[in-house]
Structure 1
């Protein structure tokens, strides 16, 4: 017979899951009318100018395809500033060789890193001081821009009247292990902030992607450049939310057709490097991050285990979901967790365009939801102290 304690646990779990499932549905509903992926622009534009900024620190094995993609861009691209933090692996020589092929590419060395700044954010700040374009477009060194990207992002922001916009990429060159775990981690972001291309959320829920981040140069300068995100581990989201809170119109759009990213070499590197910041620390109050952790566990991490436990108990004759005194509780738990699992499986179909290669590991990535929930919990509980070989022990919390 099912104990009173077990009944109380079931009722409490059901109450939490029902509430957080409703929260999730409210967040996901705008995604049904989201804008389709931004398409590359095939013809040049001469009515505006764009400065692309690429930050580098020992990126010789990754920055080449990025520079090749940028050299294929037409107007409105004005210049490409590669802001290097004194690389020692041949990155600088590679960039200088590229600049001889395309004079729009220029190597810039950032100033020594001051206290209280994360290295990448400081490099972006140095690039902003050198930029001459009406717009500045931050591009990560591990991305591959498609021909027509620069014109396409300008078209996109003008269409919707954005002052700032970032674009989600298409992931490529992932190992099967990465394709098994990373989509589950990505789903937590959608659950917490909504889908790319959906209507603009409140400023404190704005999502951004620093791998392709566009903003009006004068707007950035008017708001202190990148200083608001100087010590942030999720500088892109911190900056976007700061600008949105101060009246800028900020968009997050699907850029899977205009930019690809090959960010990590293994599951371990992805788990460590992306996991350090994907809880959106520094851009989200602590209480809200922990509420998001609860949401992810309730509607993503736990539904499959709950269904398996109930199924095992039914098979063993421990519970009867039809004729027992607690039949309504069991039926409600089955309905809620079954609905959450259905939504999760639907997310696979919705996210399929974000992956250049999929295969069986992508389609079974929902089995990694427990791991993704646990990684989010670890990231929320612990603040990182190092990144890309640099120590940031002195950064304030």
Structure 2
């Protein structure tokens, strides 16, 4: 029996690796479709702890008129906006809308911007439940009740929510929704309950802490120089015995995170090296593999299943998160192009420095 040629052997290895890759992602996505909690709007309970909604805001004058009224309407005991040395009218807009505004102190050495802003908010807050949320997150009626219900139902010390993307401009669809795909296709929700810190993630768009657990974990000072301060905080809390849970924003919480493709590139470029364990070789291998799995099948003869897998993934993720308009479902067609569109973000992540909101951080 003739031995397969080197090219035939390489193709078998490639197809086997691709089959395993998509099979694992599909199994994780199916598990999360069946088990991942979805927030459902709820009235506030009659008896509840004191709640603080805390908003770090740097150059958010455009977002706050759209999002802050919904936060103020939740019925929290206090809503505090920290003006993080904004270069626009963030503070004035927040005050006019009715929030309590505090002025952030200058960024100290050894701190990154968002952890420093959140640390100051934590110190200023009086609540027993501390809810940190970004200025571009939209809270629908009943969202705070949903957050409190989920915290109580899961007996959690930290609830982190993945808000559902909304109001996406066409170019923002290229990369922005990948945040959901990363979580839903790589981390099975049932593993979140396991006591291993590595099986943790957090989303800084909405992090709701019980104050005692927040302080025991050291507050944001414990993650003062982390790009992925949300995930690192979640891991630290779990390591110290705290209970973590996640939920999809569904009908309760939404977000308009990046307004354009260049903004998405900047955001993903800021986070990508940290996501890849601060390993540049791993980052490069990730970029090459995604090109091989999603783009290469359209440039050479490959089985139909491989092409369909790359097309269906984002559509299925959007169905799980509740994004079901024709445009949302059509995002799956971007599958073969996504690795190419992500290359500028990878290139940005490979640099020694990243710039975000006017601040420059050194990457190790």
Q: TM-score range by the shorter chain?
A: 0.7 to 0.9
Name the SS for the 1:133 alignment partner. Answer: coil
1:190 corresponds to: 184
Deviations 1:337-376 (A, max 9, x none): 3674476266245345147783575242323332366466
Does the C-alpha gap of structure 1 residues 190 and 337 become closer, same or farther in structure 2, counting only changes over 3 Å?
same
**Which of the residues 268, 272, 277 maps onto 1:285?**
277
Aligned partners of 2:32 and 2:184 also within 8 Å: no
CA distance in 2, matches of 1:86, 1:235: 20
Post-superposition Cα deviations, 1:123-180, rounded to whole Å, max 9, x if no partner, equal 1001111111111001111111112211210100111121101111121221122224
- Deviation sequence 1:98-145 (CA, Å, 0-9, x none): 23xxxxx31112222111111111010011111111110011111111
| Inter-CA distance 371–46: structure 2 relative to 1 (3 Å threshold) | farther
Measured in 1, the distance between the counterparts of 2:309 and 2:289 equals 9
Q: Which runs of 5+ in 2 are unaligned?
A: none
Residue 85 of structure 2 corresponds to which residue in structure 1? 86
Alignment of 1:118 with 2:112, yes or no, is yes
Query: Which structure exhibits the higher relative contact order, with contacts defined as CA atoms closer than 8 Å and separated by 6 or more residues?
Result: 1
Could you tell me how far apart the structure 1 residues matched to 2:254 and 2:285 are? 28
Structure 1 match to 2:356? 387
Report what 1:174 is aligned to.
Answer: 168
- Structure 1-normalised TM-score? 0.79
- Is the contact made by 1:169 and 1:255 (CA closer than 8 Å) also made in structure 2? yes
Shift of 1:259: 1.4
Which residue, 354, 366, 379 being the options, matches 2:335? 366
Answer with 1 or 2: which has the greater Rg. 1
Alpha-carbon distance between aligned partners in 2 of 1:354 and 1:360, rounded to the nearest angstrom: 7
SS in 2 for 1:358: helix
Q: CA deviation at 1:16?
A: 3.2
Aligned to 1:306: 297
Deviation at 1:10, TM superposition (A): 1.4
Contact 1:229-1:235 at 8 Å conserved across structures:
yes
Unpaired segments of 5 or more residues in structure 1?
100-104, 312-333
Inter-partner Cα distance in structure 2 for 1:28 and 1:348: 7
Aligned equivalents of 1:142, 1:356: Cα separation in 2: 21
- The number of aligned residues is 361
- Equivalent pair of 1:51/1:81 in contact (CA under 8 Å): yes
1:213 to partner: Cα distance: 0.8
Q: After superposition, what is the alpha-carbon deviation per residue over 1:269-315, rounded to whole angstroms, capped at 9, x for unaligned?
A: 122223321x361x663469928954x8657852453265115xxxx
After superposition, the Cα gap between the structure-2 partners of 1:346 and 1:357, relative to the gap in structure 1 and judged at 3 Å, is: closer
SS of the residue corresponding to residue 276 of structure 1 reads helix
Alignment of 1:346-365 (within 5 A): 347-348=316-317, 350-351=319-320, 353-354=322-323, 358=327, 361-365=330-334
Return closer, same or farther for 1:174/1:338 CA change in 2, 3 Å cut-off. Answer: closer
- Which residue pairs with 1:257 in the alignment? 251
1:30 counterpart = 2:31: yes
